[in-house]
Structures are given as C-alpha cells and as structure tokens.
C-alpha cells in the first residue's frame, strides 16, 4: 500500500465527514464547494498554516512532528483507532522484507493450543494474525462458523470466509455491518503492514470479487474490531447472540485470540451448549491439522 497516498486520502475522508457546526467552525451560510471542512478550517483548528496542512495531505511533509499529528487528530475528531492509524501512516517506515521471499508461517505455541482445548466445550475460539488468517481453532468455533480445518490452507482466513463464502451471509444476520467491519480491520492492518505481500494480495482479491468492497475500502474506515456482538443464525441450532473479544498474545506479535461467549443463563447460552454437545469430536485430534507446512 502506498502510505503517502493513503495518508492524503485518509485525511480528506476524515475532514469530509465533519460538518462545520460539529467542529465549532462558523461560516456565513450558503452552499459549500466541498463536503465537510475545508483545508484551511482544519489547519486553523490544528493551529498550523494552511500551506503546512495542504502539504501534509499531499504527502509532502515526511517528518511531521508528534505535536502536529496530535493537533490534527483533535481537529478531525479522530477516535483512538483512527489516531493510531494516522500516526502509522505519517511516520516513515524502514524498508520492509524482500517481497520475493516467501512469507514466514507463524506457529501457534502448544500452550495456546491447550487453551483452545480447555475452551472447547464452553467458548468458540480462534487464533488469528493481522491478516485474519486462522492459525488455530477449536472444534466449537469450527461448528459455529465453518470448518476451517477442512479448508485448503490458503482459504483459512476469517475475512475471506465472511466476505466471499455464501454461507457467511446466511450465518450473520447483520452481514453488511460484519463485512464492513472486516474491511475496516483489513485497512487498519494494511496501514500497519504496508509491505505485507499476502495482505495486499488478499485486499486485491476481495476488491475484485466482493460487490461493495471498493466502496467500503474507499470510505477509509479503520476498526480494531476488538469487541462487539454478533447475531447468528446457525443452520443446526438456530439463533444465537454472542459477544466476542479479541485478546492479544503479548508473547506472539500480531497474534490474537478471538473468543465468543454467551450471556450466562440466556437462551443463547443454552443454544451454545447444544452446539457443543452436537459437535463434540468422537476422538481427540492432533494440533498439527491447523498449521501450515513450512514455507
């Protein structure tokens, strides 16, 4: 991803969404030639010159200070995720790894596999990387979402499943919102990992195959999708409303656990117990099935 161009697109999209009265900018009424705030209005709110801010939007100010970035973030009313994304785009990055080299396959530690096993009859759980590749999964998550272990390794990607697989549109009752959230998560990852060849290829594939992807991507929304609620319609056990949390694994950079839970005593908790009973494996599978062969 071209970070210089992305920075300008991101800043323009954020000022376009702000109405002058929301930002405390007085104007004399009448038609405005641009949606949202003008460059000079953002510059005034941030306490910098219009020329300085214009050069920032154009990618012609590679060594912008942290103070200015903080001021721009405040002027544009960025949330914490958007602020972090702004800093990622504005800071010069060292050259990435050689794109010709095969991407390294992260390995999931045995202790993390053990954690998934402990959760098997309680909570669906998946180990994901920044691309949403599914690196490990317990059988309850396979039963709830899709059998990731049965998919070719290239297709074991949560975003690819949600956005491309027809079953996902039946599973997620709010599919449009879920799909848009995954796109925002991928854009956030692309800002943090601009040289990730596999991530860029995934985005390119989705932009071609998914109707609406280009519009979502062009909206420049970014989202960590760290927690939330999912309304599901499972083909076997029916409706469930589950909370999800994304838990970072500090010892494993870029890896996290996506964990689903139901409210205790709720109908969804009972339905999840039914799914766990229905899907319980008849034998204990080895851990190697969810890992890719070495590159």
pLDDT of residue 60: 75
pLDDT digit string, tens, across residues 239-272: 999 999 999 999 998 899 999 999 999 999 999 9
Q: Which of 146, 119, 135 is nearest to 262 (CA)?
A: 119
CA distance 107 to 115: 15
- Distance between CA atoms of 197 and 203, rounded to whole angstroms? 10
Give the 3-state secondary structure of residue 282.
coil
At 290 the pLDDT is 42
The structure tokens listed for 189 are 């990852």
- How much is the pTM? 0.83
Span between the terminal Cα atoms of the chain, in Å: 24
Q: Is the pLDDT of residue 43 over 60?
A: yes
Higher-pLDDT residue of 125, 280 = 125
Q: Which domains does the chain have, with CATH numbers?
A: 3-90 (1.10.260.40), 110-290 (3.30.450.180)
- At residue 254, the pLDDT reads 87
Q: Which sign does the torsion angle of CA 16, 21, 22, 25 carry?
A: positive
Q: What is the pLDDT of residues 199-215, one digit of tens each?
A: 999 999 999 999 999 99
Q: How confident is the model at residue 287 (pLDDT cuts 50, 70, 90)?
A: very low
Rounded CA-CA distance 209/163 in Å is 9
pLDDT in tens, 107-131: 899 999 999 999 998 999 999 999 9
**What number is the average pLDDT over the span 223-252?**
95
Read off the pLDDT of each residue in 139-165 and give the average, rounded to a whole number. 96
Whole-number average pLDDT of the chain: 87
Between 262 and 104, residue with greater pLDDT: 262
Share of the chain above pLDDT 90, in %: 66
Query: What's the rounded Cα separation, in Å, for the pair 154 and 242?
Result: 27
């Amino acid at each position: 991803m071209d970070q210089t161009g992305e920075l300008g697109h991101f800043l323009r999209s954020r000022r376009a969404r702000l109405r002058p009265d929301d930002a405390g900018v007085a104007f004399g009424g009448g038609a405005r030639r641009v949606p949202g705030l003008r460059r000079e209005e953002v510059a005034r709110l941030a306490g910098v010159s219009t020329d300085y801010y214009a050069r920032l939007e154009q990618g012609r100010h590679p060594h912008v200070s942290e103070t200015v970035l903080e001021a721009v973030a405040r002027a544009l009313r960025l949330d914490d995720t958007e602020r972090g994304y702004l800093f990622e785009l504005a800071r010069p990055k060292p050259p990435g790894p050689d794109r010709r080299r095969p991407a390294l396959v992260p390995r999931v530690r045995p202790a993390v596999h053990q954690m998934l096993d402990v959760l098997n009859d309680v909570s669906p759980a998946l180990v994901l990387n920044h691309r949403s590749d599914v690196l490990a999964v317990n059988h309850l998550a396979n039963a709830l979402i899709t059998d990731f272990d049965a998919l070719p390794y290239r297709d074991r990607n949560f975003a690819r499943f949600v956005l491309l697989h027809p079953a996902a549109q039946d599973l997620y009752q709010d599919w449009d919102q879920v799909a848009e959230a995954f796109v925002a998560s991928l854009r956030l990852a692309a800002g943090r990992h601009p040289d990730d060849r596999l991530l860029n290829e995934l985005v390119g594939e989705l932009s071609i195959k998914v109707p609406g992807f280009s519009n979502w991507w062009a909206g420049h929304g970014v989202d960590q999708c760290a927690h939330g609620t999912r309304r599901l319609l499972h083909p076997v056990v029916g409706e469930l409303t589950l909370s999800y949390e994304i838990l970072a694994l500090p010892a494993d950079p870029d890896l996290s656990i996506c964990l689903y839970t139901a409210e205790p005593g709720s109908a969804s908790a009972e339905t999840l117990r039914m799914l766990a009973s229905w899907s319980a494996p008849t034998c204990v599978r080895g851990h190697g099935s969810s890992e890719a062969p070495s590159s």
